[in-house]
Copies of this chain bind each other. A is one copy, B any other.
Amino acid sequence: VSDVIERFRPLFYPESIAVIGASASPQKWGFGILHNLVQGNFSGPLYPINPREKEIFGLQVYPSIEEVPGGVDLAMIVVPPEKVIPAVRSCGRKGVKAVVIITAGFGEVGPEEMDLQKELAREVNRFGMIAIGPNCQGVMSTRGKVFGQYIWIFPRSGSISIVSQSGNVGGSLIGKGLTYDIGFSKFVSSGNEAVTKCWDLMEYYGEDEDTSVIAAYIEGVSNGRAFIETLRKVTPKKPVVILKGGVTEAGGRACTSHTGVLAGESSVFNAACEQAGAVLVDSLEDLFYAAATFASQPLPRGNRVGIVTWGGGWGVLGTDACVREGLVVPALPQELIESMNKYLASRWSHNNPVDLASTQTREALTRTLELVIRSDAFDGVVQLGMGVSVFFKHMVDNSFYFSAPDRKQVRDMMVPIAEEMDRNLCERVLGLIRETGKPILGASDTAAMPTEDNIALKTLSREGKLIYPTPYHAARAMGHLARYAAFRKKINAI
């Protein structure tokens, strides 16, 4: 096991956790942090620290960390700013290995508070501790059962790890994951980064076996060279997806009052990141879809995309979107046209995008999908229109054609058939991805919504896969896959 894995173990897999400033009052942050650790089923001892309480959630409260009987791996610090440095000193003396300083009111406020932040850093470094924050929302490690975070959400385990200089941006990402049943491995709200920097966490994630994709929200870095050098080490192994905040002058000013960092010249930052192999995204949604795609789809061997569609307009828009992503939408090989002529009614498009037109059967769709993904002419498929059962139910439920008893009969008879068709198609998609090692990204406006009865989405999300809500989302995700694949190919060739 490498040094960095060893060093961060107390943060992500602690054996015991103290919450300094734990509170019994639901309005306080010290309540939320302790609550979420309990709610997340942390398996080791939890020590609430508060001189004015005896017991919170049935846990014994200690007046100070020094009085905790056993050792403490990780301490969450949620006390007012003036008490933070004394708390850090107590942690150091106690032998705590990692601290997470939730408290705000440091470098993001002004020059005086920035001095305090520097003093805080010196104290931490005296003891050689890891320190997250200050001015952050906490840390999460799904396999370590550490939900030491202010945000009240508990995603399932997965292979995406996040470092975010904004707690609420990280929370938005995880919230979207919860909505679409996408799991996460780790999340650190890194805040002002007085001591432990985002690139330290990226270095760890790069070596962490439970992380396959790194998602980062960054407003600024205090040492550009160290940041880029870390990126260079990590990107040949794993995709690092970066959303930069403060890319405009006004946005940069907002960063200063948010995390106290200097946003810097973003065109320089972006160019350096890109050269170092990072995947740059330009919105919150883009960050989510890119990370979820890298975590669940194979890298394509090239950038030639086959598009299979049930609707002509979506086919046109999907083609435009792919081309704008730098992908190629090549002509359909003659032998595929001949194969498809055998089972598609004459009005089909006879080209790529393959528009099935009037042949709207599940069999035709599956067969076409197979022909395209297995063809040497294509490195991946964007499939437009998948999942019919949700819309079928909507139709049956909203038609005069069925009287109430009929409706139940039709539903009981037809819905399982429609659902079985959705399940079969999606299982086939999963199978074809495995067999061919090529990505298949499906988009649908009826099957992208995470409703309870959406069998298509449920089948795919079992393997962490999404149904993209529009052709643009699918094309964009394919673009990221292809660009990163090209980078990896280039690096490996050197």
Contacts and interface: CB of A to CB of B under 8 A. Distances in A.
A350 interface: yes
Contacts of A152: 391, 394-395, 398-399
A333 interface: no
Nearest to A249: B323
Contact of A245 (B284, B313, B395): B313
Contacts of A312: 166, 168, 254, 257-259
Contacts of A167: 311, 313
The CB with the most chain B CB atoms within 10 A, among A35, A243, A283, A353, is that of A283
A258 B313 contact: yes
29 contacts: A35-B399, A39-B399, A57-B400, A109-B347, A152-B398, A166-B313, A168-B311, A169-B314, A170-B313, A172-B314, A172-B445, A217-B313, A219-B316, A243-B317, A245-B313, A245-B317, A249-B323, A250-B320, A251-B317, A253-B319, A254-B315, A254-B355, A255-B316, A257-B349, A257-B355, A258-B316, A284-B317, A284-B470, A284-B472
Contacts of A127: none
Interface string A333-357: 0000000000000110111010101
A398 B320 contact: no
B400 A39 contact: yes
Interface string A97-110: 00000001100110
Copy total for this chain: 2
Given A399-B39, A400-B38, A445-B176, A351 B254 contact: yes
A347 B284 contact: no
Contacts of A324: 247-248
Given A105-B347, A167-B311, A311-B168, A251 B398 contact: no
A206 interface: no
A358 interface: yes
A383 interface: no
A329 interface: yes
A471 interface: yes
Contacts of A315: 254, 258
Interface of A: 35, 38-39, 57, 104-105, 108-109, 152, 154, 164-172, 175-176, 179, 217, 219, 243, 245-251, 253-255, 257-259, 283-285, 310-317, 319-324, 329, 346-347, 349-351, 353, 355, 357-358, 391, 394-395, 398-401, 445-446, 449, 469-472
A427 to B, nearest CB: 25
Given A176-B445, A351-B254, A166 B104 contact: no
A154 B398 contact: yes
